[in-house]
Amino acid sequence: MTRMLIIGPPGSGKGTQATRISERMDIVAISTGDIFRANVKEGTPLGLEAKKYIDNGDFVPDSVTNNMVRDRLAQPDVENGFLLDGYPRTGAQVDELDRILDENGQKLDAVLQLTADDEELVRRLLHRAELEGRADDNEAVIRHRLDLYHEQTEAVVARYLERGIVAKVDGIGGIDEVTERIMEALKSVTA
Is 190 a member of any domain? Answer: no
Binding site annotation covers 13?
yes
Is 37 a member of any domain? Answer: yes
Active site residues: 14, 89, 128, 134, 145
How many beta carbons lie within 10 A of that of residue 67, not counting itself?
12
Q: What is the CATH number of the domain that holds 78?
A: 3.40.50.300
Binding site annotation covers 17?
no
Q: What angle do CA 65, 163, 58 make, to 5 degrees?
A: 25
Residues whose CB is less than 8 angstroms from the CB of residue 116 and which lie 6 or more positions away in sequence, other chains included: 8, 9, 11, 12, 13, 170, 171, 172
* pLDDT value of residue 191: 59
> What's the pLDDT tens digit per position in 38-62?
778 888 887 888 888 878 877 788 8
Is residue 93 pLDDT above 80, yes or no? yes
Which of 85-89, 149-153, 172-176 ranks highest by mean pLDDT?
172-176
Is 35 a member of any domain? Answer: yes
Binding site annotation covers 105?
no
Q: Please compute the mean of the pLDDT values over residues 88-97 and round it to a whole number.
A: 91
